[in-house]
Amino acid sequence: MKIIIAGCGKIGSTILASLAGEGHDVTALDRDAAVIEEVTNIYDAIGVVGNGADCETLSEAGIDSTDLFVAVMNSDEINMLACFIARRMGAKHTIARIRNPEYNDNSLDFMRRELGLSMAINPEQLAAEELYNMLRLPSAVKVEKFSGQNLEMIELRLREDSPLSGMKLSDMRGRYKAKILVCFVRRGEDVFIPDGNFVLQCGDKIGLTATHGEIARLIKELGLLRKQAKSVMILGGSRTAFYLAKRLTDTAINVKIIEQSESHCNELSELLQNAVIIHGDGSNPELLLEERLSSADAFVALTGMDEQNILISIFASSRGVPKVITKINRNEMETMAGNLGLESVVSPRRIISDILVSYARALENSRGNHIETLYNLADDKAEALEFIVSPDAESLIGIPLKTLNIKRGILIAGIMRGRTPIIPTGEDVILAGDRVVVIAAQQRLSDLSDILK
């Protein structure tokens, strides 16, 4: 597909890398010639210097033959204008980044309809939702949701005293009452899609699919249950911090935000009536201790500096905070954070990249089993994809899973039938209209039928 990305900042360059890596014909558009030179030297993309909302610039970029136009420039309004012009000039689909909290759901619905937007994305709000899910289930390293919240995938790290260490997966269902499925295992640099004979080891990072209730039951049986956070300290008063604090205070959770900018503190105080806003330098350990960091149930580092987030998160962990979450933007820093013992990491850029990759794959898929959700797992070594099953998928429908000729490195991890989640066994079948969650290790799937040999 031909794709134009207008705006090559942090988010734009990540989207560019992912879509170029998928093999799409990508054009990068930015006002800054140095930025265009840099991204075109690194990625397989054409570069155009200019204003993404200018007709002549868009024409030069080939907007009339573009399948997907993505506007991720600094201004919400310019992004919307650029998408409107791009659509009028021939772009088939348009996506705009809209981050301002003043644009509520009703406003966004109106703008999507009137401007012809295919999608509006808000990286900070999506990151806040992921953070909220992790705080809701603090025993998990990561939490991903499918199918309208009814099916979840979590990641757990098996510590030395884990009762799962040394256990064969086929023995888990007999030992524990929870209906769960281990869908992938990360061991060192290797990722496995395990079968029943796979034996878990301490240090493994495992992915589990189940309903929220079944996951909570397993965590309780494993003795890993931690109470949900009732007091959360947030470092940095970013948009993500605002969205997260709003979500938390709406559920009666105590929130304290530490922000260095006095004017920003004043804004947050007006917007968040039920949160405590502290004006100060959150990188100062003495201030954190004065604000009772050690008594917090959770600490979330959300400054714009990865290095600062990592260092202060390590300090929070050393003070015994039960749940510490770190926002990381750069991929290399995410690996470093993991090596330093920080397990719960959130990357807004990766979240948006996953959404754009799944959208692009859905557009290029003409076979009908459309991708609903996509998550990158285990440092991009595996993917979790959710497909809606088309009535035309005759090679898959009504056939017991145990008799399907499924490729190596593929696992059907969950089925949603209406509102009923199914953790599949070999006897289960796929029906038209089902939502099917598939885990794929080092393979690119655009259609559900791609799972078959």
* pLDDT tens digit sequence for 406-425: 999 999 999 999 889 999 98
Give a yes or no: residue 252 inside a domain: yes
Domain count, the chain: 4
Side-chain half-sphere CA neighbours of 317 within 13 A: 16
Contact criterion met (CB below 8 Å) for 340 and 4 = no
Q: Clarify whether residues 212 and 244 are in a common domain.
A: no
| Residues 284, 73: Cα–Cα separation, whole Å | 33
The last residue of a domain, from among 167, 190, 221: 221
Secondary structure, 3-state, 186-201: EECCEEECCCCCCECC
Burial environment of residue 403 by CB neighbours within 10 A (0 to 12, 13 to 18, 19 or more): exposed
**CATH code at 206?**
3.30.70.1450
The last residue of a domain, from among 105, 121, 137: 121
Q: Clarify whether residues 362 and 424 are in a common domain.
A: yes
| Residues 300, 408: Cα–Cα separation, whole Å | 39
- Number of Cβ within 10 Å of residue 197's Cβ equals 8
Closest CA to 432 of 385, 390, 369, 387: 390
Q: Clarify whether residues 248 and 324 are in a common domain.
A: yes
Give a yes or no: residue 353 inside a domain: no
| Residues 415, 328: Cα–Cα separation, whole Å | 32
Contact criterion met (CB below 8 Å) for 365 and 383 = no
| Residues 332, 350: Cα–Cα separation, whole Å | 13
Q: Clarify whether residues 113 and 141 are in a common domain.
A: no
Burial 53-72 (b: 16+ CB within 10 A, else e): beeebbeebbbeebbbbbbb
SS3 236: coil
What's the pLDDT score for residue 244?
A: 96
Q: Clarify whether residues 216 and 240 are in a common domain.
A: no
SS3 319: coil
| Residues 314, 330: Cα–Cα separation, whole Å | 18
The last residue of a domain, from among 121, 138, 169: 121
- Number of Cβ within 10 Å of residue 84's Cβ equals 19
Contact criterion met (CB below 8 Å) for 70 and 15 = yes
Contact criterion met (CB below 8 Å) for 319 and 293 = yes
Joined tokens for residue 173: 């269902």
Q: Clarify whether residues 446 and 374 are in a common domain.
A: yes
Q: Clarify whether residues 208 and 255 are in a common domain.
A: no
Q: Clarify whether residues 237 and 209 are in a common domain.
A: no
Contact criterion met (CB below 8 Å) for 282 and 258 = yes
Of the listed ranges 146-150, 324-328, 331-335, the least confidently predicted one is: 146-150
| Residues 32, 15: Cα–Cα separation, whole Å | 18
Residues in the chain: 453
Percent of residues, the chain, with pLDDT higher than 70: 98
Give a yes or no: residue 226 inside a domain: no
Whether residue 339 is predicted with pLDDT greater than 90 in this model: the reply is no
Mean pLDDT of 82-99: 94
Q: Clarify whether residues 340 and 242 are in a common domain.
A: yes
Contact criterion met (CB below 8 Å) for 347 and 11 = no
For residue 58, give its domain range: 2-121
Give a yes or no: residue 169 inside a domain: yes
Average pLDDT, the chain: 91
Q: Clarify whether residues 132 and 117 are in a common domain.
A: no
Q: Clarify whether residues 206 and 291 are in a common domain.
A: no
| Residues 30, 429: Cα–Cα separation, whole Å | 49
Whether residue 149 is predicted with pLDDT greater than 70 in this model: the reply is no
Joined tokens for residue 33: 């010639």
**CATH code at 33?**
3.40.50.720
Give a yes or no: residue 74 inside a domain: yes
pLDDT band at 148 (very low <50, low <70, confident <90, very high): low
pLDDT band at 366 (very low <50, low <70, confident <90, very high): low
What's the pLDDT score for residue 101?
A: 78
| Span 199-220, pLDDT tens digits | 999 999 999 999 988 998 898 8
Closest CA to 232 of 292, 182, 284, 298: 298
Q: Clarify whether residues 207 and 245 are in a common domain.
A: no
Joined tokens for residue 274: 């039920």
| Span 222-254, pLDDT tens digits | 888 777 889 999 999 999 999 999 999 999 999
